[in-house]
Amino acid sequence: MSATSQAAGSGAVLGIVLVFLLQQFGVLALSDLVLSLVFFVVAAVVGGVLCGLAARRAGRRPSSPG
């Protein structure tokens, strides 16, 4: 598995966890099923895309040694 897909998967999980945390802190109400699923899907897609892009960019740009 590439580093990009690994970062994308972890970012998707992180997005879902953050939605639960927002509910715990009183920002979101996850009572309605359909609305909750929308929150989860959007958060997973955003987290996965952002983290995947970050890893892909890091893989393309050579960093200075050390």
Partner 1 sequence: MDGRSGPGRLGKIVAVAALGVAIVLLFGALPSASASTGRQVARPGIVVGPGFSNARVYWNGQNVSGASSAGSAVAINKGQTVPVLFEFNELAAGKIHQASLQLTYLGVVLTTSTAGAYITGGPPIAGAAMINWSFGALSNALQGVFEFKASLQNSTGVTVWSETFYVFAKTPYLLESGAVAVLLILVIVEAYWIASAIREARKSARPPPPTPWAPPASTGTSGAAPPAAPGPTEGSSGSTSPPPGGAS
Residues in the chain: 66
**Nearest-approach distance from CB 34 to partner 1, in angstroms:** 8
Whole-number Cα distances in Å, 45 to 12, 25, 53, 64:
6, 22, 12, 31
Q: Which amino acid is at 18?
A: L
* Interface with partner 1: number of residues (CB under 8 A): 43
**Nearest-approach distance from CB 42 to partner 1, in angstroms:** 14
DSSP label at 2?
-
Residues forming the site for partner 1 (CB under 8 A): 1, 3-7, 9-14, 16-18, 20-21, 23-34, 36-37, 40, 51, 54-56, 58-63, 65
